[in-house]
Amino acid sequence: MRPMRRRDLDAVAAIERSIYPFPWTRGNFADSLLAGHDAWIFEIEIEESPQLIGYAVVMWLPDEVHLLNLSVAAPMQGRGYGREMLQWLMRDASGRGARGMLLEVRPSNSPALALYRSTGFEPIGVRRGYYPAEGGREDAQVLFRQLER
C-alpha cells in the first residue's frame, strides 16, 4: 500500500468506471486528496513493474474512520486482495488511534457484504435512498466494526 497521488487519478478513475455502475469521478478522488482523506493505492510488482490492483479512501472522524471507497480492479477480483487491503486498512487505522471503522454498502452488493460480514462488521443501520440506482435510489446498509488497540 502506498499513498495515492494526483498522478494516479487517471488510472484510478478508469478502474472505477469499469467496476461501478455509478462510479466516483476523477474529481471526487481529487477532492478527497484535497480534503486530506487517506487515499491508498495497492500495487504489486509483476515482471518488475508495479501494477495497480486496487485503491481505498478513508475519512478520519475524531476517533473512528469512515471507509468511503474500497475497490479492486475487475481482473484481480476474487483473489484475496480486497480482504488483504481491508485488513491492512484496519491495522493502519487502529495503529493510529481509531477505535472503529464505519462503512456503507449496497444491500445488493453480495461480494462486498460477504467480505465485510466475514471480517467482523455488523449492521448498525440503514441510510434510506443513499445510492443512485437504475430507476431510482437504493438504501445503504451501514456497517461498523470495533478495532483492536
Ligand X SMILES: CC(C)(COP(=O)(O)OP(=O)(O)OC[C@H]1O[C@@H](n2cnc3c(N)ncnc32)[C@H](O)[C@@H]1OP(=O)(O)O)[C@@H](O)C(=O)NCCC(=O)NCCS
Q: Which residues bind ligand X (CB under 6 A)?
A: 19, 70-72, 77-83, 105, 109-112, 114-115, 118
What's the min distance (Å) between Cβ of 128 and ligand X?
17
Q: Quick check: 51 and 57 in contact, CB under 8 A?
A: no
Q: How far is the CB of 80 from ligand X (least distance, A)?
A: 4
In the bound state, the residue with its beta carbon closest to ligand X is 82
Quote the strand ranges of the chain, DSSP E.
2-3, 38-46, 49-60, 65-72, 100-105, 122-133, 136-146
Beta partners for 54? 42, 72
Q: Supply the minimum distance, in Å, between the C-beta of residue 95 and ligand X.
A: 21
Residue among 80 and 97 whose Cβ is closer to ligand X: 80
- With vertex at residue 66, the alpha carbon angle to CA 145 and CA 7, rounded to the nearest 5 degrees, is 135
Q: Which residue has the cell 476517533?
A: 63
Closer CB to ligand X, 115 or 133, in the complex: 115
Grid look-up 445510492 returns 131
The residue among 50 and 97 lying less far from ligand X, judged by its C-beta, is 50
Instruction: Considering the complex, state which of residue 2 and residue 97 has its C-beta at the smaller distance from ligand X.
Output: 2
What is the maximum alpha-carbon separation in the chain? 46
Mention every residue, 6+ apart, whose C-beta is less than 8 A from residue 133: 22, 106
For the bound state, the minimum distance from the C-beta of residue 104 to ligand X, rounded and expressed in Å, comes to: 7
97 or 132: CB nearest ligand X: 132
CB of 75 to ligand X, least distance (A): 10
